[in-house]
A and B are shown apart, each in its own frame.
Chain A
Amino acid sequence: DQQVKQNSPSLSVQEGRISILNCDYTNSMFDYFLWYKKYPAEGPTFLISISSIKDKNEDGRFTVFLNKSAKHLSLHIVPSQPGDSAVYFCAASTSGGGADGLTFGKGTHLIIQP
C-alpha cells in the first residue's frame, strides 16, 4: 500500500512558466514532508521541506504548500528553468528528528521545454 503517491509520472512545462508537482499521502501520522530532486546517475538532493504545523514554506523559486485536511502537498517552481528538468520525489516522515526512515513517492519526471 503506497502511503505517499505522486500520480503524475511526468510533467512538461515551458521555460519561464510555473511548474506544479503534486503529492498525496494516506498516513495521518506523517508530520514532516520533503521534496528531493534527482538527476540521472546521481543520488537525490534535498530541495525543500515543510512541517505539519505550517501550510506554506518558500525558498527562492520553490514553494511547498501543505493541505493537511486533504492530505495533499504541492511543489511550485516559478519561473521554471532548464536546469529544473529532473525527477522530483515527495517524501514523508513520522518524526522530524531524523530517527525514522523516509517514505518516498514514485517520483514525477519534470521536463522543462525551451
Chain B
Amino acid sequence: DTGVSQDPRHKITKRGQNVTFRCDPISEHNRLYWYRQTLGQGPEFLTYFQNEAQLEKSRLLSDRFSAERPKGSFSTLEIQRTEQGDSAMYLCASSPIGQRLDGYTFGSGTRLTVV
C-alpha cells in the first residue's frame, strides 16, 4: 500500500453535469477526510468519515454534494449539477484512529474544471 489514491487525477465537465470522484485510503486507516482547494487558497475541510459513518460535514458541503464510504474502505464524492464555482482541487486524506493530526496522509487530488 503506497498511500492515498485518488481517481481521476483530472476531470473536465460541462456545467450542469454530475461528477463522481473516488478515494482509496491507506488500508489500515479508519478515518477519511475530503477537502477542497481553490486557486490561491489553502485546503478547506468538507467532510469526515470514521469507518463507514459520516461524522462531520462542513457548511461548504451544499446539498449538491454527497459523500459515501459504504464499506468503510474507499469513498466517493459526488457533485450534482456542477457549477463553475465547483472548479477546484478535491483532496482526500486518511488517518488511523487514535493518532494525532500529524497522522494525516493526503492523496494527490482530483482537479475538477467546470466549463
Closest Cβ of chain B: how far from A58's Cβ, in Å?
A: 14
Interface residue tally on A, bucketed by range: 20 to 34
Contact for A49 among B48, B93, B102, CB less than 8 A: B102
**Number of A-B residue pairs with CB-CB distance less than 8 Å in the complex they form:** 70
Closest Cβ of chain A: how far from B34's Cβ, in Å?
A: 10
CA distance A72 to B71 in the complex (A): 41
The contact string, 1 if C-beta is below 8 Å from chain A, for chain B 48-84, is 1010000110100000000000000000000000000
When the two chains form their complex, are residues A43 and B107 in contact, meaning their CB atoms are under 8 A apart?
yes
When the two chains form their complex, are residues A106 and B106 in contact, meaning their CB atoms are under 8 A apart?
no
When the two chains form their complex, are residues B42 and A106 in contact, meaning their CB atoms are under 8 A apart?
yes
* A1 CB-CB contact with B under 8 Å: no
* B2 CB-CB contact with A under 8 Å: no
When the two chains form their complex, are residues A98 and B31 in contact, meaning their CB atoms are under 8 A apart?
yes
Q: Binding site of B, secondary structure by majority: helix, strand, loop or mixed?
A: mixed
When the two chains form their complex, are residues B45 and A102 in contact, meaning their CB atoms are under 8 A apart?
yes
Closest Cβ of chain A: how far from B94's Cβ, in Å?
A: 10
Closest Cβ of chain B: how far from A19's Cβ, in Å?
A: 19
Contact for A101 among B58, B103, B108, CB less than 8 A: B58
When the two chains form their complex, are residues A44 and B43 in contact, meaning their CB atoms are under 8 A apart?
yes
Closest Cβ of chain A: how far from B26's Cβ, in Å?
A: 13
* A65 CB-CB contact with B under 8 Å: no
B residues with CB within 8 A of A: 4, 31, 33, 35, 40-45, 48, 50, 55-56, 58, 91, 93, 95, 97-109
CB-defined A-B contacts under 8 Å, sample of 16: A42-B108, A43-B93, A43-B107, A43-B109, A46-B102, A46-B104, A46-B105, A98-B100, A98-B101, A99-B31, A101-B33, A101-B45, A101-B58, A102-B104, A106-B42, A107-B42
